[in-house]
């Protein structure tokens, strides 16, 4: 029942988008190469499903994002914990972070090619740039937001050294905020697959879109966009379920 | 572990003083040098207006603050940092929201290295002492304020500390819940005979609970009255003895209040 209640708004939204799309096609009599009708895109999608090609693209994109996102988490969480806990360390690291943060993942494409060539590493590097900062910033604010009284309670309940205080109080207390960072980062990483797969990819949803543009198959472009959108919502809802587990309702 | 006699220690404070520096660099004397001897097992209430230094004394005893002068000792040992041997009950409960109630109560026991089975037994025992046995698996957010504070009291007694510091623990509770908790606290204290330092705004609460009431005054914070309360437990608010103690304390507080008002009105007229 809840599944229906949750998915229904997305179903309505999809119908509305397709209706507007169809209306634009009908009223502007757009050329099929400029704006294909929904029916054509649907047909292309079904063909890609039957041939299995779409799954290859999804798997390629998803594994890149997961690899980059996991790498970001491994580096950004410990760094963020240290920055949130030690003011002096934050004062040194934060300016560096702030200087790099405004640089879009797109801007890293040339360097990614120069450094890593057209290998998988270059693509993962670009998504890494997109996922790193949301995790880092949320971890820092999570640690800083830990109620001081909980830290004191930990200290008088046997967490007498910094490490046990971290493990037993600070980390669990900042977990909900860190999870939000994971969720936002997966979103930004997923959105960055286009940028990543512009770097000489042979597969992936970004490749599907770039390739569709080159061979003037806008139906392929539309399918790629739609799949990115729908999968993005699905992944985000998985994160929502996980974060509910950490929502202790304070 | 439960078979051993509960431990308790004396507190000795010598020329303890605390001066804070404000943002403008101005020195604020939060605590005028204080001498204080508290024998093991005594229930001491600290009453006084905001800013009189009662929380400062408590935070120094807990090890959260380092005094600028003098020394505080527990059981003959100087206090250097927070320790599980000196339990604290906070005004806003400070339960760990990600743990259920029994895991909160067992938290300190786990840190002490008590095995899972044994610590759950001890935690369950203290939960039933405060009447929360049916809420062991609930999260703190599912409990009312009074129940949270009862869980916090169970948590502090479970680790068997030598002294227990309570910082306005019932300040945020309604009058009836407050009465229930005062009653339960006295029951546990009479059973375990811990040294308790209890900070409160309420003169009535201080006289009801403590066998010694220290009245503190502000600017600078110092102890103005050291009043032993020799009334037998359980105490009644309405008896003459009770009223006499209240009056004695209010007289000191009122005199100080008058001085403060005087200072403030003078300060205003000279503007």
What are the pLDDT digits (tens) for A34-60?
A: 889 999 999 999 999 999 999 999 999
Does the A58-203+229-245 domain belong in CATH 1.10.3720.10?
yes
Q: Cβ B159–A158 below 8 Å, yes or no? A: yes
Please confirm whether the linkage preceding B234 is cis (ω < 30° from 0). Answer: yes
List of residues 6+ apart from B139 with CB closer than 8 A: A248, A249, B97, B99, B100, B101
Chain A residue whose CA is closest to B81:
A160
On whether the CB atoms of residues B110 and B119 are closer than 8 A, the answer is: yes
Quick one: which H or E segment has residue B44?
A: strand B43-47
For the record, the structure tokens of B126 come out as 């203290």
Given an 8 Å threshold on Cβ–Cβ distance, is B96 in contact with A155? no
The chain B residue lying nearest A172, using CA atoms, is B98
Residues A179-222 have pLDDT tens digits of 999 999 999 999 998 888 877 788 999 999 999 988 889 999 99
- Interface with A, mutate which of B61, B81, B88, B123 (most A CBs under 10 A): B88
Distance from the A93 Cα atom to the nearest Cα atom in chain B, whole angstroms: 26
Confidence of residue B4 (pLDDT cuts 50, 70, 90): low
Q: Give the pLDDT of residue B2.
A: 45
Q: What is the 3-state secondary structure (H, E, C) of B182-249?
A: HHHHHHHHHHHCCEEEEEECCHHHHHHHCCEEEEEECCCCEEEEEEECCCCCCCCCCCHHHHHHHHHH
| Domain segments of chain A as ranges | 58-203+229-245
B140 touches chain A (CB under 8 A): yes
Q: What are phi and psi of B118, to 5 degrees?
A: -65, -40
CA A10 to the chain's CA centroid? 19
Helix (H) / strand (E) containing A74: helix A53-85
Nearest partner of B123 among B140, B108, B102, judged by Cα: B102
CA distance B88 to chain A (A): 7
Nearest to B94 among A150, A164, A249 (CB): A150
Given a contact cutoff of 8 angstroms between Cβ atoms, the answer to whether B103 and B154 are in contact is: no
Residue A140 is predicted with a pLDDT of 96
The string over B28-56, giving b where at least 16 C-beta atoms fall within 10 Å of a residue's C-beta and e elsewhere, is ebbbbbbebebebbbbbbbbbbebbbbbb
> Whole-angstrom Cα distance, residue B233 to residue B46?
19
Question: CB of B108 within 8 Å of any CB in chain A?
Answer: yes
Q: How far is CA B77 from CA A176, B13, B85, B156, in A?
A: 40, 11, 12, 21
pLDDT at B267 over 70: no
A86-144 residue pLDDT tens: 999 999 999 999 999 999 998 998 898 899 988 889 999 999 999 999 999 999 999 99
Tell me the percentage of chain A whose pLDDT exceeds 90.
73
- With a CB cutoff of 8 Å and minimum separation 6, the contacts of B144 are B177
CA distance B208 to chain A (A): 27
- Which range among A147-151, A181-185, B214-218 shows the weakest confidence by mean pLDDT? B214-218
What ipTM goes with this model? 0.89
Residue B42, pLDDT score: 94
Does residue B268 surpass a pLDDT of 70? no
């Amino acid at each position: 029942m809840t599944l229906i209640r949750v998915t229904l708004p997305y179903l309505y939204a999809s119908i509305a988008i397709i209706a507007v799309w169809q209306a634009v096609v009908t009223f502007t009599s757009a050329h099929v190469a400029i704006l294909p009708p929904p029916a054509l895109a649907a047909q292309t999608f079904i063909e890609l499903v039957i041939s299995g090609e779409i799954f290859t693209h999804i798997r390629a994109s998803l594994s890149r994002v997961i690899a980059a996102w996991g790498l970001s988490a491994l580096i950004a969480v410990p760094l963020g914990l240290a920055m949130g806990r030690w003011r002096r360390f934050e004062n040194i690291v934060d300016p560096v972070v702030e200087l790099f943060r405004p640089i879009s993942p797109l801007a890293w494409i040339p360097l990614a090619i120069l450094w890593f060539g057209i290998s998988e590493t270059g693509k993962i590097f670009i998504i890494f740039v997109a996922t790193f900062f949301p995790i880092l910033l949320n971890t820092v604010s999570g640690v800083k937001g830990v109620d001081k009284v909980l830290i004191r309670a930990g200290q008088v309940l046997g967490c007498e050294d910094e490490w046990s205080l971290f493990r037993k109080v600070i980390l669990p207390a900042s977990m909900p905020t860190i999870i939000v960072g994971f969720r936002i980062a997966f979103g930004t990483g997923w959105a960055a697959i286009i940028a990543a797969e512009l770097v000489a990819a042979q597969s992936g949803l970004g490749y599907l879109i770039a390739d569709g543009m080159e061979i003037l198959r806008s139906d392929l472009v539309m399918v790629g966009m739609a799949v990115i959108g729908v999968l993005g919502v699905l992944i985000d809802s998985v994160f929502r379920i996980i974060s509910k587990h950490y929502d202790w309702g304070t | 572990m439960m078979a051993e006699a509960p431990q308790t220690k004396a507190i000795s404070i010598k020329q303890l003083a605390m001066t804070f520096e404000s943002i403008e660099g101005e020195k604020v004397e939060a605590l005028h040098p204080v001498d204080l001897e508290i024998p093991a097992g005594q229930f001491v209430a600290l009453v006084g207006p905001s800013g009189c230094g009662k929380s400062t004394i408590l935070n120094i005893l807990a090890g959260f603050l380092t005094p600028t002068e003098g020394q505080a000792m527990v059981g003959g040992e100087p206090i250097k940092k927070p320790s599980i041997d000196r339990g604290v009950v906070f005004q806003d409960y400070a339960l760990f929201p990600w743990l259920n109630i029994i895991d909160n109560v067992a938290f300190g026991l786990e840190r002490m290295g008590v095995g899972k089975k044994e610590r759950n037994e001890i935690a369950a025992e203290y939960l039933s002492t405060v009447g929360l046995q049916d809420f062991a698996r609930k999260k703190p957010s599912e409990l009312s304020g009074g129940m949270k504070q009862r869980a916090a009291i169970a948590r502090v007694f479970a680790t068997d500390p030598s002294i227990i510091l309570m910082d306005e623990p019932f300040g945020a509770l309604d009058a009836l819940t407050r009465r229930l908790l005062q009653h339960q606290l006295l029951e546990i204290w009479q059973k375990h005979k811990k040294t308790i330092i209890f900070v409160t705004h309420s003169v009535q609460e201080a006289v009801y609970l403590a066998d010694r009431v220290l009245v503190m005054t502000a600017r600078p914070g110092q102890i103005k009255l050291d009043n032993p309360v020799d009334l037998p437990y359980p105490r009644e608010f309405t008896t003459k003895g009770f009223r006499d103690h209240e009056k004695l304390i209010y007289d000191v507080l009122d005199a100080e209040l008058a001085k403060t008002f005087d200072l403030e009105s003078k300060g205003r007229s000279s503007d």
